[in-house]
Amino acid sequence: MVESSVVRIGGDLPVCRMGFGAMKLTGPGVWGPPDDEDNARSVLRRAIDLGVNFIDTADVYGPGDNERIIADALSPYREGTVIGTKAGLVRSAGPATRENPGISMNGSAQHIRTSIEGSLRRLRLECIDLYQLHRVDPNVSIEETIDVFRALRGEGKIRHIGLSEVDVDQIKRAQSVVEIATVQNIYNLATRKHEDVLAYCEANAIAFIPFWPLHSGDLAKSEVVQDVARRLDATAAQVALAWLLQKSRSVIVIPGTSSIDHLEQNVKALEVQLSPTDLEALEQMVA
């Protein structure tokens, strides 16, 4: 890996800043397995062949199917492969819709301990390199939930701990319990409400993992982004990813795709350089 394209999670785990978000390798509404599991496995293997070594998943994707497919495709894992999974959400039965995401939070010790056993089994791992709290449960203090993560790390089941959809105050509260290696919040060209979190992560050696880097695919279709892409002989998806990579050296991107063509295209975003004129043009994307 070229040093400029690497972030060290927790200071010791080198990952390529071009990661892969596996969530969409499930059925519609992130429910059940994908229609074409062979394709899902091929995409994951191609990602590793292209030098991607960080795969992001969660126990609720499927639920369970996404982690199982990752292990089916990649286990035994190539040395240096880093799997990040998450706990703290519970899915009610059936595909998620905009009206009914079918998700609730559970940050209790009992839930997290049950979740990690399922993730370790499905992923065929003895230790999870990056275990992320998917959402803070409003009924359980973040200190109490993160203390369970701290205990699991002491038991050798977790290497590093991350948070998702948190504000700066919540990160500081979690850090009062244990070191936090990563934060995964929504952030992309069109959605920038977490600028303060990104700045905090950068200042505190926390890797920042923007989820929905392509705004769930919308940025690949945006005319503003396509205009910039044409000038660079790149694609709009590459421009949206390059913008994130250029935004901060702390960023690891995790675009999701079920297409090998799109995957190959996305990985090449590491080579796209945006000029000040391009960056100015992209400012129109701020929501």
Ligand X SMILES: NC(=O)c1ccc[n+]([C@@H]2O[C@H](COP(=O)([O-])OP(=O)(O)OC[C@H]3O[C@@H](n4cnc5c(N)ncnc54)[C@H](OP(=O)(O)O)[C@@H]3O)[C@@H](O)[C@H]2O)c1
- The catalytic residue positions are 61
Pairing of strands 13-16, 6-9: antiparallel
Q: Give CA–CA dist 286/59, Å, rounded.
A: 32
Q: Give CA–CA dist 32/95, Å, rounded.
A: 8
- Rule CB under 6 A: which of 209-238 touch ligand X? 211-217, 220, 235, 237
Least distance to ligand X from the beta carbon of 247, Å?
Answer: 15
Please choose, from the candidates 199, 216, 115, 192, the residue with its C-alpha nearest in 3D space to the C-alpha of residue 158. 115
Of the candidate residues 258, 260, 268, 281, the single one contacting ligand X (CB under 6 A): 258
Of the ranges 44-52, 71-79, 192-200, 250-258, which one interacts with ligand X (CB under 6 A)? Answer: 250-258
Does residue 77 belong to the site contacting ligand X (CB under 6 A)? no
Least distance to ligand X from the beta carbon of 3, Å?
Answer: 25
Pick the closer one to ligand X by CB: 157 or 262.
262
DSSP string, 25-52: SSSGGGBSS-S-HHHHHHHHHHHHHTT-
Of the ranges 3-11, 97-105, 224-232, 256-264, which one interacts with ligand X (CB under 6 A)? Answer: 256-264
Least distance to ligand X from the beta carbon of 196, Å?
Answer: 18
Does residue 259 belong to the site contacting ligand X (CB under 6 A)? yes
Does residue 262 belong to the site contacting ligand X (CB under 6 A)? yes
Q: Give CA–CA dist 270/171, Å, rounded.
A: 29
Does residue 64 belong to the site contacting ligand X (CB under 6 A)? no
Count CB atoms within 10 A of the CB of residue 168.
15
Of the candidate residues 119, 164, 170, 182, the single one contacting ligand X (CB under 6 A): 164
Does residue 254 belong to the site contacting ligand X (CB under 6 A)? yes
Does residue 266 belong to the site contacting ligand X (CB under 6 A)? yes
Does residue 21 belong to the site contacting ligand X (CB under 6 A)? yes
- Phi first, then psi: what are they for 273, rounded to 5°? -110, 125
Does residue 22 belong to the site contacting ligand X (CB under 6 A)? yes
- Phi first, then psi: what are they for 76, rounded to 5°? -70, 135
The residue count for binding ligand X (CB under 6 A) is 28
How far does Cα 50 stand from its chain's mean position? 18
Beta carbons within 8 Å of 224's beta carbon, 6+ residues apart = 281, 282, 284, 285
- Phi first, then psi: what are they for 123, rounded to 5°? -80, -10
Pick the closer one to ligand X by CB: 71 or 280.
71
Interacting residues with ligand X (CB under 6 A): 21-24, 56, 134, 164-165, 184, 211-217, 220, 235, 237, 254-259, 262, 265-266
